[in-house]
Amino acid sequence: MISYLRNFFSKNNFLKGSFLIAIVFIITRAPYYFFYSSINVSSDSASYIAAAFDIINSRHVLFDIRTPGYPLFISMIWIFAKSYYAIAFVQSMIALLSGIFLLKIINKYYSSVTILSSISIAAFLSSSFFVILETSFLTESLFISSMIFTCAFMISAMKRMKLTDWIYFSSFAAITIIIRPAGLFLAGVLLLLLFYFIVNKFKPNYYVAIIMPFSFIILSLCSYNFATLNKFTITPFGEANLSGVTILFMEPSEKYSSKVNEAIKTTLDSIPTKDINYVRNNNSITGLYEKFKNNFYRQMNLTGNLLADNPGMMFTDIQPVLREISIDAIKKIQRYT
């Protein structure tokens, strides 16, 4: 039996690579599940969980802050296993499957680097980044796994030129975006592929295979948001990034209402004075990245302060106010440059 297994593995690099990935994966996850099991909850987690429970309870769901991908995932797991640990476990399994699936594609088309690729994938999946995020109510781990599936299907599609592979690639690209809008760069990848199709004079059915799944999923979300939020968009919360990068320059103003000025003042009070002084009085770029990175999340503080005492309001209701504050902050930046 041992001799048979030795011969079997010696002839199959994919199985050897998969075994390596699985072993390293288990070793890095076992301590968590056996000894340190706990769920990491961040300030972002509440909005995902709230949307998920709205879905579970068949309530009117608004995606004014979060896209539906991750809440849908949480709700599907919760229906079968009402356990936070089950969600973390499924996130871990999806990460493992994505790595093995990518290795399968690599082995099929680039067999000479299968073992080297398995070592790289094992190292990547065993990083602390994965271990931490798989046990958190955040989109990052699921997003990265979806990205790996998307890349694997693109490799397969480029090598085989089969319509089904292009359909899978297009679908996973859209799914990646609705999990986390940071995946919007994949729309640019699709445009480049369409240009490639045009240059190489592909048949029309290839265009349909790559355009239709992606368009159907994305336009369905945009249509739903238009019906519920009156915004034809993937997520209206994307504009909050503007607040994030101008948060260190915002100031109260006579043109704002007293409630808006109070929200701005409360947010400014939460920001270290040294950070505000640094970006406003220092012309050197040294340290600017850290200052902006460390305070970017305070856009959520500002949003929360504006929504305080107004439980019926949504992000879209205060969006014009946030936009005005950000634009005024940009104008004021000229004083410090």
Find the radius of gyration of the CA atoms of the chain: 24
SS3 136: strand
CA dihedral 179, 184, 186, 189 (to 10 degrees): 170
Q: Which two tokens stand for residue 336?
A: 């410090």
* Mean pLDDT of the residues in the chain: 88
Contact by Cβ (8 Å): 136, 42: yes
Mean pLDDT of 69-83: 92
Q: What is the pLDDT of residue 105?
A: 96
> How far apart are alpha carbons 183 and 76 in whole angstroms?
22
Closest CA to 60 of 269, 228, 207: 228
Q: What is the pLDDT of residue 283?
A: 64
Q: What is the pLDDT of residue 132?
A: 82
DSSP string, 33-70: HHH----B--TTHHHHHHHHHHHHTT-----SSS-SHH
With a cut of 70, say whether residue 12 has pLDDT above it. Answer: yes
Residues 6+ apart with CB under 8 A from 314: 62, 64, 229
With a cut of 90, say whether residue 209 has pLDDT above it. Answer: yes
Contact by Cβ (8 Å): 290, 279: no
- Give residue 181's pLDDT band: very low, low, confident or very high (50, 70, 90): very high
Q: What is the pLDDT of residue 7?
A: 57
Contact by Cβ (8 Å): 78, 49: no
Length of the chain: 337
**278-303 pLDDT, tens digit each:** 887 776 677 788 888 888 888 888 88
> How far apart are alpha carbons 22 and 13 in whole angstroms?
14
**220-264 pLDDT, tens digit each:** 999 999 999 999 999 998 888 888 888 888 999 989 999 999 999
Q: What is the pLDDT of residue 15?
A: 92
- Give residue 177's pLDDT band: very low, low, confident or very high (50, 70, 90): very high
With a cut of 80, say whether residue 310 has pLDDT above it. Answer: no
- What pTM was estimated for this model as a whole? 0.86
Contact by Cβ (8 Å): 62, 229: yes
Q: For the chain, which residues make up each domain, given as ranges?
A: 12-229, 237-336
Look at 218 and 240; give whichever has higher pLDDT.
218
With a cut of 80, say whether residue 331 has pLDDT above it. Answer: yes
Q: What is the pLDDT of residue 211?
A: 96
With a cut of 60, say whether residue 147 has pLDDT above it. Answer: yes
**31-53 pLDDT, tens digit each:** 888 877 777 777 788 889 889 99
Closest CA to 176 of 221, 142, 135: 142
Mean pLDDT of 196-216: 95
> In terms of C-beta density within 10 A (0-12 exposed, 13-18 middle, 19 or more buried), how is residue 179 classed?
buried
Query: How far separated are the first and last CA of the chain, in Å rounded?
Result: 74
Q: What is the pLDDT of residue 129?
A: 78
Mean pLDDT of 56-61: 87
> How far apart are alpha carbons 302 and 271 in whole angstroms?
11
Q: What is the pLDDT of residue 2?
A: 56
- Percent of the chain, pLDDT > 70? 94
With a cut of 80, say whether residue 335 has pLDDT above it. Answer: no
Q: What is the pLDDT of residue 175?
A: 97
Q: What is the pLDDT of residue 9?
A: 52
- Give residue 8's pLDDT band: very low, low, confident or very high (50, 70, 90): low
Look at 303 and 94; give whichever has higher pLDDT.
94
